[in-house]
Amino acid sequence: MESSAGVVRESLGEEAVELLSELLRFDTVNPPGNEGPAQEHLAGILRDAGFEAELLEAEPGRPNLIARLEGDAPGPTLGFLSHVDTVPADESEWSFSPWSGDVVDGFVLGRGGQDMKDQVATEVAAAAHLARNGWRPARGELKVIVTADEEAGAHKGAKWLCENHPDKVRADMLVNEGGGALFEIEGRRFYPVSVGEKGVFRFKLRAHGRAGHGSVPSLGDNALLRLAPTLARLVEQPPPEATPAGLELLRRTVGREVDQTNPGDLVSALAELRRIAPQLVAYLAEPMMRVTLVPTRIHASEKDNVIPSRAEVVIDCRVPPGLGADEVRERVAEVIGAHNPQIELEFMEEVSGNESPFEGDLREAISEWLGEVDPDATAVPTVMPGFSDSHWFRKAFDSCVVYGFHPQRELDMFAAAPLVHGADERAAVSDIEFEADFYSWLAQRILG
Ligand SMILES: [Zn+2]
């Protein structure tokens, strides 16, 4: 495109791809993160375009970026949220350099291509492109928030920002990672909107016995053997829960209402979905709709020749939003046998999940955009089995609607998922153009 001044200007898509290449070349592997140079680069781009940009750090060299573009009239604050740090990459497992940034055969190559420098690049490019071309919100404010330290607990990133600078990062609507990659069921097209994240209620199950010499079994009462039958029962998982997002997902995919007075109907609706979309159920629908119990570590005797008087297993337990410690105890009792007095349960971590409603302006805007760009597709709510920065913003700001939505379709959900934290991570150029178009459209749709 040529401007009136005769200067060749890039299209938004080209600008986003170029910015992604640049970002992938900054090594922001966390730990240690070292997000400073990448954040300075982004701040410069946004400032040059007309944003007020600020870097706030909990630790020297690891800033978070907050950039604002205010409108003339009062109105909602729309935030583009992302994180610029990445997980490590073992170069020996990759067929190209994890810090390449090169564009090859329609893909931009490097660690962060999916999680989530692609979204950093498309959100920042869309915001900067709009502002540079003279757009200002007619009402409200556009905020760009790029955090550090997401991959190692957000203690220097989103959690710290929400706790220490709530007024700077407050927003009414936020778009973050966690959803947006297309999946198909029998030719029907769906874009997931991640409305929530599960909670983490890790606990230990502990059995007691009596120590004794390892050469004579009858001298002791082996706590490990007391724990073993309980451990074996964890092959089963608790039954599915009738969560709002789960019921809506079933309504839009299986195409029917679940009879909530009959617990068997939820199980059979999930089974119907499993028949037509087994991967979707295994990787997303089932985990999002149930308390999951995964034994990860076990500990018993300190010595090879001592019968253990105590044995413990750590259970990584993830819980749908709205459920807490009481429900976890109930579900565990259902699986391991009600109130087994020989087994103690002790929580190590109690972090509730949270979710935003799948209704309102942001949801309507997403459906409207899909109606223009992929008219046969449907938006469906999902809940992340894992964790992201969205959690901290929902927790800090009651009325803030936070969705994970990062639309892509060339690399669909099942093509993209193994690349996240995996080898040969990359983004499709066509997806980058698609995403950047969405963020640009969304800012204008919500803020005028
Ligand atoms: Zn991420």
If you search the block for the tokens 């009462």, which residue do you land on?
221
Catalytically active residues, by annotation: 85, 150
Q: Rounded to whole angstroms, how far apart are CA atoms 402 and 413?
A: 20
- The predicted structure's pLDDT at residue 342: 82
Residue 34 burial (C-beta neighbours within 10 Å; 0-12, 13-18, 19+): middle
pLDDT, one tens digit per residue, over 89-114 is 999 999 999 999 999 999 999 999 99
Q: Would you put residue 138 in left (φ > 0), alpha (ψ -120 to 50) or beta?
A: alpha
- What sections of 191-258 are H helices per DSSP? 223-233, 244-253
Average pLDDT over residues 113-140: 98
Helices 429-447/361-373 angle, 10° precision: 130
Asked if pLDDT for residue 343 goes beyond 70, the answer is yes
Residue 150 CA, ligand 1 centroid: distance in Å: 7
Residue 207 tokens, joined: 């059995």
Q: Are strands 188-197 and 183-185 parallel, antiparallel or unpaired?
A: antiparallel
Q: How many residues does the chain have?
A: 448
415: which residues sit within 8 A by CB, 6+ positions away?
none
Residue 137 CA, ligand 1 centroid: distance in Å: 28
Residues around the ion ligand 1 (C-beta < 5 A): 115-116, 177
Amino acid of residue 77: T
Helices 117-132/429-447 angle, 10° precision: 50
Q: Rounded to whole angstroms, how far apart are CA atoms 379 and 400?
A: 20
Q: Rounded to whole angstroms, how far apart are CA atoms 84 and 377?
A: 30
Asked if pLDDT for residue 426 goes beyond 80, the answer is yes
Residue 87 CA, ligand 1 centroid: distance in Å: 9
Give the DSSP H or E segment for 368: helix 361-373
29: which residues sit within 8 A by CB, 6+ positions away?
85, 86, 87, 88, 89, 111
Asked if pLDDT for residue 1 goes beyond 90, the answer is no
Q: Rounded to whole angstroms, how far apart are CA atoms 175 and 106?
A: 26
Q: What angle do CA 308, 310, 314 make, to 5 degrees?
A: 120
Q: Rounded to whole angstroms, how far apart are CA atoms 418 and 425?
A: 9
pLDDT, one tens digit per residue, over 356-396 is 999 999 999 999 999 999 999 999 999 999 999 999 999 99
- What sections of 155-203 are H helices per DSSP? 158-164, 166-169
3-class DSSP assignment, residue 1: coil
9 pLDDT band, cuts 50/70/90, is low
Nearest to 320 by CA among 354, 346, 294, 297: 354
Residue 159 CA, ligand 1 centroid: distance in Å: 14
- The predicted structure's pLDDT at residue 263: 86
User: How large is the C-alpha radius of gyration of the chain?
Assistant: 24
Average pLDDT over residues 285-294: 97
Residue 262 CA, ligand 1 centroid: distance in Å: 38
- The predicted structure's pLDDT at residue 10: 78
Residue 152 CA, ligand 1 centroid: distance in Å: 10
Query: pLDDT averaged over the chain?
Result: 95
If you search the block for the tokens 């556009």, which residue do you land on?
142
SS percent in the chain: helix, strand, coil, step 5: 40, 25, 35
Average pLDDT over residues 31-47: 98
42: which residues sit within 8 A by CB, 6+ positions away?
23, 65, 84, 120, 124, 146
338 pLDDT band, cuts 50/70/90, is low
Residue 317 CA, ligand 1 centroid: distance in Å: 21
Residue 116 CA, ligand 1 centroid: distance in Å: 5
Amino acid of residue 363: R
Residue 393 CA, ligand 1 centroid: distance in Å: 15
- The secondary structure of 287-343 as a DSSP string is HHTS-EEEEEEEE--SSTTEE-SEEEEEEEEEE-TT--HHHHHHHHHHHH-TT-TTE
From 8-22, 30-44, 247-261, 433-447, the region with the lowest mean pLDDT: 8-22
